[in-house]
Amino acid sequence: MRFILLALLAVSGAALAHPGHEYSHSALLAGLLHPLSGLDHLTMGLGLGILLARTFKQARFMGLALLVATLSAGFMLGMAQIVPVNVAEYGIVASLLVLAMALWQRSTSVFLAMAALLGIFHGLAHGAELGAGMNPVGFMLGMLMTLSALYSVGLVAGQWIKRHIKQGDRVVAVLTGVVALLGLA
């Protein structure tokens, strides 16, 4: 496991964290495509769904609702330039790490708190980086739709892994660590 951690740290520059704002002619299209444009977004969407396959059923849907609400709130705060973008980036990494540890330990209350922080920090970063003249409502709606779809695909994949792969719970547990490491990227 330690080797995997070190190997993933070595490739941390490959995240391509925030491309995808270049579709200024259509904010909705930019928002729909943005979560597919970087490793951090795919990690957040698919990974969070896979990780949630380890939690209690109620926390899965509460986690998504909390993530969507806090992502929206963070986005509005980011547009207001209240928090520097670099603070938001560090917050994303820290919340992903604690989120993975909460899921590893199966702590639903810590998980929900970290999902909220992840949403706030991720929203802050995107609100602050929104292109000039881009419709923020269209962008945010598109981004939320794609992230929700990624989350759902990840959740189904995590449940499938647990049911159909020998020692599937262990596989999902290892994926938990991988998602935390990708958050460092």
Task: Confirm whether 4 is domain-assigned.
Answer: no
Number of domains in the chain: 1
Q: What is the rounded distance in angstroms from the CA atom of residue 155 to the CA atom of residue 158? A: 5
Task: Confirm whether 158 is domain-assigned.
Answer: yes
| 170 CB-near residues (< 8 Å, 6+ apart) | none
What one-letter code names the amino acid at 181?
A: L
Task: Confirm whether 53 is domain-assigned.
Answer: yes
Q: What is the rounded distance in angstroms from the CA atom of residue 34 to the CA atom of residue 136? A: 13
**Three-class SS state of 77:** helix
**Three-class SS state of 13:** helix
For the stretch 80-129, pLDDT in tens is 888 887 888 787 777 777 766 666 666 677 777 777 888 888 888 888 88
- Over its C-alpha atoms, the chain yields an Rg (Å, rounded) of 16
pTM: 0.72
Task: Confirm whether 63 is domain-assigned.
Answer: yes
For the stretch 118-154, pLDDT in tens is 888 888 888 888 877 888 999 999 988 998 888 888 8
Task: Confirm whether 9 is domain-assigned.
Answer: no
Task: Confirm whether 44 is domain-assigned.
Answer: yes
83 is in which domain, residue-wise? 21-184
